[in-house]
Amino acid sequence: MEGNVGSVFVALEDNTQLHEWMAKLQPENNEFQAGFLAIHEAIIWGIEQNAVCNIWSDSISSLLAIKSLKTTKKTAKTVQTLLSQHPRKLTMTI
């Protein structure tokens, strides 16, 4: 995805890769949006797998927006809703 914005997440268990997801975003998208998208897709995958998941991200800005109760970002609010609906299955780490 050289020269473009991409989004990716990898699901691991005991250092074994279980799943990989990636997407090439439109030129008007930025890294902030890519971070949200990867987190969102990881959450959806975890829910579909009925797995207990720890989600790690290097997108500090996305994680802080998700953590904030005052966020105005639609994707952050969607992620907040998913996390609140599955509190024993999903955790986020900054």
Please give the pLDDT value at position 14: 92
Give tens-digit pLDDT for 37-79.
999 999 999 999 988 888 889 888 899 999 898 989 888 999 9
Number of domains comprising the chain:
1
Any domain includes 81: yes
User: DSSP character for 67?
Assistant: H
**What single string gives the DSSP state of each residue in 10-77?**
EEEETTEEEEEEEEEPPTT--HHHHHHHHHHHHHHHHHHHT--EEEE-S-HHHHHHHH-TT---HHHH
Any domain includes 80: yes
Query: What is the length of the chain?
Result: 94
Domain range holding 43?
Answer: 6-92
End-to-end alpha-carbon separation of the chain, Å?
25
Any domain includes 1: no
Side chain identity, residue 77: K
Please give the pLDDT value at position 88: 76
